[in-house]
Structure 1
Amino acid sequence: MNNRWEELDKQYLWHPFTQMQGWCENEQLVIERAQGVKLIDVQGKEYYDGVSSLWVNLHGHRHPTLDAAIKAQLDKVAHTTMLGLINQPASEYAKRLVEVLPKGLTKVFYSDDGSTAVEVALKMAFQYWQHKGQTSKQKFIALANAYHGDTIGTVSVGGIDLFHRVFKPMLFTSKYVPSPSCYHCHLVPENEKSQCGQVCLQQLEAVLKEHHQELAGMIIEPLVQAAAGMLTQPKGYLKAVRELTKKYNVLLIADEVATGFGRTGKMFACMHEDVTPDMITLSKGITGGYMPLAVTATTEEIYQAFLGAPTEYKTFYHGHSYTGNPLACAAAIASLDVFAEENVLENLQPKIEVLRQGLEKFKSYRFIGEIRQCGTIVGIELMLDKAQKTPFPPEKLMGGGVCQKAREYGLIIRNIGDVVILMLPLAATSEDIVKVLEMLDKAFQDVFADITGENYSDPCAF
């Protein structure tokens, strides 16, 4: 054990999504500080933050605009409750956010993280229909392989068995439909995927037609199912889903916790297909990766359904102690300032192309299957035999092996099973992207050479 921080960690902490037996048996990396797109450990070694500290960091660490905003707010007040009080940053950010959201989303409800934002949306959709007199509309429809969080309500609309099966006795029942980004759709030829999307839409319509009277809402991760392995949806699918939910009078909830704030190349993924959902859930990058904050934004129509005299009991009885936290809202305002002042979205387009071109090389590698990219979001699938679509045995832990090897070269990335995830901060330069792909390439070569027992001079032989 290399320092007292690791000793304290292993003695007292329980990490998320981590088998602690293995964690405590192995040496772990201790991060002390960060600057820009790099993390720095207690030994002074630098690492590229290849997953944006779990997809939250947008503008780099220690960005002067965000640092200054938080410090300035701290000189005023750190937190006041929103129960019976107003604070300036929460009010200002709500206005600023509505100005950049898909048109028609006009009301902002604050919470703490992605899971709570989705919980708010589910409860809000349920209660909306109760107020509208359509009390049978109580269930939700979601996609196969969906992930919307880890609280009980969000797990109830999740579809990843590995994460959720142990909790099934605790959950409410939802309906699921095949997703055009589901695993089997990534086993068909590229020219057949649009047809697969149409089949999925037909199945969705069949469920909506039969069950719309009991469905309060449909929840979807637009364009990319992130925790499922960065599975991407075909063009036009999201827009068609919006049309079907309108046709059958079912609310559409867009979970943009992972895809929001520029990750897909536009401010929000829904904007790629000019879709306005009934609700949108946001977190992760909302404060540029500085402070916990989440939003559920909805329409004026839904908001109006909750208005009434106290004796009508139409109030939305939901809240969080740190709702609208001034420090977090100050950071969120500063993040929008950076988007505007640094032309983040405009400058992102050539970097997305550099990323796309750099990933091309990996397509020839023997043990790399599909490479999925949507804007700055990348998932690289590892396969034992990509010609036969044969995965590696789970016990090989190939994805984790690549991530561990990448650290030796100065790159921190994460895997979801045997899908290697790369999601750099938006602040990464084209030069950063090239360097990161070179590090990743070295990690692939080392791990793949271990499989074959050969030291290839030509990496394309992999």
Structure 2
Amino acid sequence: MTRTRIWHPFTQHGLDEPIPNIVRTQGAHLWTDGGDRLIDAISSWWVTTHGHAHPRIADAIAEAAGQCDQIIFAGHTHPYAEAVAEGLAALFPSALAHIFFSDSGSTSVEVALKMALGYWASRDEARHRILVLEHSYHGDTIGAMSVGARGVFNAAYAPLLFDVETLPFPGGDTAQATLDALEAACRAKPAALIVEPLVLGAGGMLIYAPSVLAEMHTICARHGVLFIADEVMTGWGRTGTLTACEQAGVVPDIMCLSKGLTGGSLPLAVTLASAAIYDAHYSTDRAAMFFHSSSYTANPIACAAAAANLAIWREEPVPDRVGDLAARQAGWAARVRGWPGVANVRHLGTLTAFEVADPDRPGYLSTLGPAIKAQCAAAGVLLRPLGNTVYVMPPYCIDADDLGMVYTAIEDAISAGCAAKA
């Protein structure tokens, strides 16, 4: 085994799996130091929307770096953050009137949970319980892990996690059971329900219906339970619309956004909140303020990237690009349904996912994922299956030829039997 100085995320270094050195990115492509080109079929962990090194975003980053690189955001502001706030207000529901900046999807969720608990504390109501969906994933900080599914992701940290109430995943046959469980749970007056709208990402790209999302929101509203939408992965067009909530006609009390917020160029997140949430912390008493921050909150360079991304959404035909990619993904999903050894093929927006049969060890720790990943890398495609769940979620700039190469690489990997054992 080779020990490495850099400790990579979600990587078991003891397996000695190769770690390519990426030295350049452009559009839908990455290049290694050996000159090999990879097609980015997963948007580099779901963040890259318009393509790598997008010139409008890169130019905005360069300009901000020479103008205003960092400023304390507590009690200060700057033009780049103001531009992001105005851009978000123009695109997102007016009811989500207040914007809190943070640094990642996990921290945007932490912010949302603290906002929800702070709301009830301001009303002197002891409502602390959080409701979550089975198989959910909301990040890797302590609060975010607490509202995610218990399992291999967080088993070692169980003593630190707070208790939540878990509702069954609302699949086709279990949707009513989910709604009934939510109705019953809401009678006990929990603080909030947090959901990944329409798609549970790291839980296996599990998809449920917009009508179920809408009904969950209705039940929460009827009982006065706050509704938190974690759109970190599902936002920015991934499900075919700007947000997944849009397809259900849902405006949550709190919405978390990150990943595609900067087009995938720099880490930045926002938590959007209703006026009621903001007003619960609005006071002449300093002790009642919202106590959360980080050193790099609303970093100007990251905000410049986000402002450029928002301009691209306003001024370029991004919905058309999303629609074109979604149509090609739907066509491929129809073909995959005929493959032997493949099950539960699903498609939503720019995402297609399915399971490859693994009788030995299905789930996240299946050896199929590394095997398929390695075979696809050899064919020039960057893929990272979730165990035996294979998914494709590329940047919107990918062309038909590259997408065809992605599809062929996956089919060849499965057909060749590399999926039998790593």
Q: Do these two structures clear the TM 0.5 threshold for a shared fold by scoring above it?
A: yes
Q: Deviations over 1:260-283 (max 9, x none)?
A: 111111111100011000000011
TM-score by length of 2: 0.95
Cα distance in 2 for residues equivalent to 1:395 and 1:172: 25
Please give the alpha-carbon distance, in whole angstroms, between the structure 2 residues aligned to 1:274 and 1:139: 26
The answer to whether the Cα contact below 8 Å between 1:102 and 1:275 also exists between their aligned partners in 2 is: no
CA contact (8 A) 2:333 2:346 kept: no
1:204 is aligned to 182
User: Residue 397 of structure 1 aligns with which residue?
Assistant: 367
SS in 2 for 1:105: coil
- Secondary structure class of the residue paired with 1:117: helix
Question: Is 1:72 matched up with 2:63?
Answer: yes
Larger Rg: 1
**1:263 and 1:426 in contact (8 A); partners too:** no
Deviations 1:428-458 (A, max 9, x none): 123332232122222222226867xxxxxxx
Deviation for aligned residue 1:351: 2.1
User: Which deviates more from structure 2 when the two are superposed, residues 58-67 or residues 218-227?
Assistant: 58-67
Could you say if the C-alpha distance between residues 220 and 405 of structure 1 is closer, same or farther in structure 2, counting changes exceeding 3 Å? Answer: same
The corresponding residue for 1:14 is 7
**1:441 pairs with 411, 416, 421, which one?**
411
Matches within 5 A, 1:119-158: 119-134=110-125, 136-158=126-148
Question: Cα offset for 1:359?
Answer: 2.4
- What runs of 5+ residues in structure 2 fail to find an aligned partner? none
Aligned residue number for residue 178 of structure 1: 168
The letter of the residue matching 1:359 is: A
- Report SS of the residue matched to 2:130: strand
Q: Could you tell me which residue of structure 1 aligns to residue 328 of structure 2?
A: 354
% same residue? 34
1:422 is the counterpart of 2:413: no
User: What are the superposed Cα offsets for residues 213-268 of structure 1, whole Å, 9 maximum, x if unpaired?
Assistant: xx111100000000011000123010001100001111000000100111111111
Give the secondary-structure state (helix, strand or coil) at the position aligned to 1:83: coil
Superposition RMSD in Å:
1.9
- Measured after TM superposition, the shift of residue 394 of structure 1 is 8.0
Q: Deviations over 1:275-318 (max 9, x none)?
A: 0000000111110111110101001111111111135x210011
TM-superposition CA deviations, 1:405-440 (whole Å, max 9, x none):
011110011111110121101221233322321222
Match of 2:237 among 233, 247, 262: 262
Write the mapping of 1:42-441 to structure 2, written as runs, cut at 5 A: 42-134=33-125, 136-181=126-171, 193=172, 195-209=173-187, 211-212=188-189, 215-310=190-285, 313-384=287-358, 392=362, 397-441=367-411
Answer whether contact 1:400 1:418 (CA < 8 A) is retained: no
Say which structure is richer in helix.
1
Whole-angstrom distance in 2 between the partners of 1:166 and 1:28? 25
- The letter for the 1-side match of 2:415 is Q
Give the match's secondary structure for 2:69: coil
Write the distance in 2 (CA, Å) between the matches of 1:394 and 1:101: 34
* Alpha-carbon spacing, 1:42–1:162, altered in 2? closer, same or farther (3 Å): same
Count of aligned residue pairs for this structure pair: 421
Report deviation, 1:319: 0.5
AA paired with 1:271? E
Name the CA distance, whole Å, in 2 between partners of 1:288 and 1:393: 30
Which whole-Å CA distance do the structure 1 matches of 2:113 and 2:35 have between them? 45
Report the residue type matching 1:249 in the other structure.
Answer: G
Conserved in 2, the CA contact under 8 Å of 1:153 and 1:171? Answer: yes
Give the superposition deviation at 1:360.
2.0
- Paired residues of 1:279 and 1:299 also in contact (CA < 8 A): yes
Q: TM-score, normalised by structure 1?
A: 0.87
Q: Counterpart of 1:434 in structure 2: which amino acid?
A: G
